[in-house]
Amino acid sequence: MKVHVNGIELAYSDEGHGAPVVFLHAFPLNRSTWEPQVVGLAGRYRVITIDLRGHGESDAPTWRYTLDQFADDVKGLLDHLAISKATFVGLSMGGYILFAFYRKYPALIQALVLADTRATADAPDAKAARFSMAQVAYRRGAAAIADLMIPKLLSPASLTHRKDLQEQLRAIITGNQVSGIIGDLMAMEERPNSTPLLSTVTVPTLVIVGEDDVASPPDEVEEMSRHVPGATFVVIPGAGHLSNVENPEAFNAAIRTFLDSLEKREKEGLTEK
Ligand code: MLT
C-alpha cells in the first residue's frame, strides 16, 4: 500500500489486528527485512512495516534527508491510519529515527524497542566514512554499497553459511536508488548525540542486540540501555547486526515477552484502581 505524505509516496504494509506495532528498518534496506516479524507477530498484533523515504517502493527524491523528516513521514502514515499510539521497533538507523520521533512526538509512543542501535553521534572519522561511502554510491552504484555493507550487517556465521541471506540482502540493497542511499548517509552523519535523551525516556523500553553485532557491539548497546530508566536488555544468540533476520525466533520471543509484560502491567494497574 502507498500513502502520499510530505510530498512523496510512502510504501507500507499493514497486517494483522490488535495493538499496533510499527517497525523501522536499517540502512540501506527496506520493509521486507521485517517479514519474519510479520509472520511471527501479526497473529496477535497489528504489524506495520514501512519502506522509509529513499528505500524499496517508496520515493527516493534527490534532496536533503534528515532524521526529523523520516520521523515526520512516520507521523504522516500514522495520521493516515488513524493510529494515535503504538509500540515502535527501530533497528540501527530505524533506532536513530526513533530518537528523533521521541523528541518530536512522544505522546504517540506506547513503548520502544531499540534494536542494534546507538544513541551516540558519529565521531569525526565516522563522518568522513559517510562522505566516502556516498562517493562510492555516486560513482559505482548500489551494488558497490551492497559489497561494503553486507559484511557489516551479518554475523561471521551468517557470512560463512547463509548465502541465501546474503543474496536476499544484495537484492534489497541494489533495489534502492542512489539518491536514497546518499540521503540516508547525510541524515545519519548529522544526527545529534541522543545520549542525554535516554534518561528522559518515560515509556517502557526494550533494548536488543545480536551477540555478534560488529556495527553496534553488545557492550556499547548494553551501556546505552543502562541510561534508559527501567529498560530491559536482551542479547540475541547466533545473530549479528540484523538480529531480527538472523535469529527471528529469539527476536520475536523477546518482543512477545516484552509486549506481554506491558499488557500484564496495564491489567494489574486497572485492577488496583
Ligand atoms: C544501519 O544498519 O542502519 C547502519 O549500520 C547504521 C549506521 O551506519 O550507523
| 145 pLDDT above the threshold of 60 | yes
Q: Reading across the β-sheet that carries 20-24, which strands appear in turn? A: 2-5, 8-15, 46-51, 20-24, 86-91, 109-115, 205-210, 232-236
Site to probe by mutation for ligand 1, drawn from 70, 133, 149, 188 as the one with most ligand atoms within 8 Å of Cβ, is: 188
Q: Whose Cα sits closest to atom 4 in ligand 1?
A: 27
| 273 pLDDT above the threshold of 60 | no
Average pLDDT estimate for 46-67: 98
- The position carrying cell 510499527 is 22
Q: Whose Cα sits closest to atom 7 in ligand 1?
A: 93
Distance 93 CA to ligand 1 centre (A): 5
Site to probe by mutation for ligand 1, drawn from 27, 182, 209 as the one with most ligand atoms within 8 Å of Cβ, is: 27
Distance 196 CA to ligand 1 centre (A): 20
Distance 42 CA to ligand 1 centre (A): 26
For residue range 103-126, list pLDDT tens digits in order: 999 999 999 999 999 999 999 999
User: Which band of pLDDT confidence, cut at 50, 70 and 90, is reported for residue 69?
Assistant: very high
Looking at the chain, the whole-number percentage of residues with pLDDT higher than 90 is 96
Question: How crowded is the C-beta side of 118, counted as CA atoms within 13 Å?
Answer: 18
Q: Catalogue all structural domains in the chain, each as residue range(s) with its CATH number.
A: 2-267 (3.40.50.1820)
Average pLDDT estimate for 159-175: 98
| 167 pLDDT above the threshold of 70 | yes
Average pLDDT estimate for 58-76: 98
| 30 pLDDT above the threshold of 60 | yes
User: Which band of pLDDT confidence, cut at 50, 70 and 90, is reported for residue 272?
Assistant: low
Distance 92 CA to ligand 1 centre (A): 5
Share the mean pLDDT of the chain: 97
Average pLDDT estimate for 40-54: 98
